[in-house]
Amino acid sequence: MSTDATTPSLESRLALALLLLRFGVGIVFVIWTADKFVAPDHTVRVYEHFYMIPWLTENLAYIVGIMQGLLVLCFLLGFLKTWSYGLVFLLHAVSTLSPLANYFSPWEGANLLFFAAWPMLAACWALWSLRDYDTLFSLDARRAATSV
């Protein structure tokens, strides 16, 4: 593939693609975080049904929401990428794998929607594994540039 001076470099295209992935995954996590404040009773039911955590109360859902909100903020800002991207990947992996039974009956109820978790899990992995190239609107990239 030939490039000229007007063609964006591979690094700039990769950085833009990773930024879009980060914001796309971030949108989902922002909504999941907001759910813990808007409908804490829903969070309680989800944790009991899918994660086998029957002791989560609505008050604890708020605390989980605060912690998740801080993580999502770090993730969206590209801050502490090794940790924030890794934790987002791990949280989403648990979320993807916990409804395992639903994958065996995809046409029952709304189970087909659970399959949307897999491409997002792949996006989370891509972001974590390519985090050093995710430099647009990233606090870590800005910190690295100023420390040189």
Ranges of residues in the chain whose predicted pLDDT is under 50: none
Give the pLDDT of residue 86: 98
Rounded to whole angstroms, the Cα distance separating 138 from 78 reads 4
* Residue 113 DSSP symbol: G
Give the pLDDT of residue 1: 54
Burial class (CB in 10 A: 0-12, 13-18, 19+), 89: buried
pLDDT tens-place string over residues 81-102: 999 999 999 999 999 999 999 9
Rounded to whole angstroms, the Cα distance separating 143 from 45 reads 41
Burial class (CB in 10 A: 0-12, 13-18, 19+), 131: buried
Rounded to whole angstroms, the Cα distance separating 56 from 41 reads 10
User: pTM for the complete prediction?
Assistant: 0.90
Give the pLDDT of residue 3: 60
Give the pLDDT of residue 148: 54
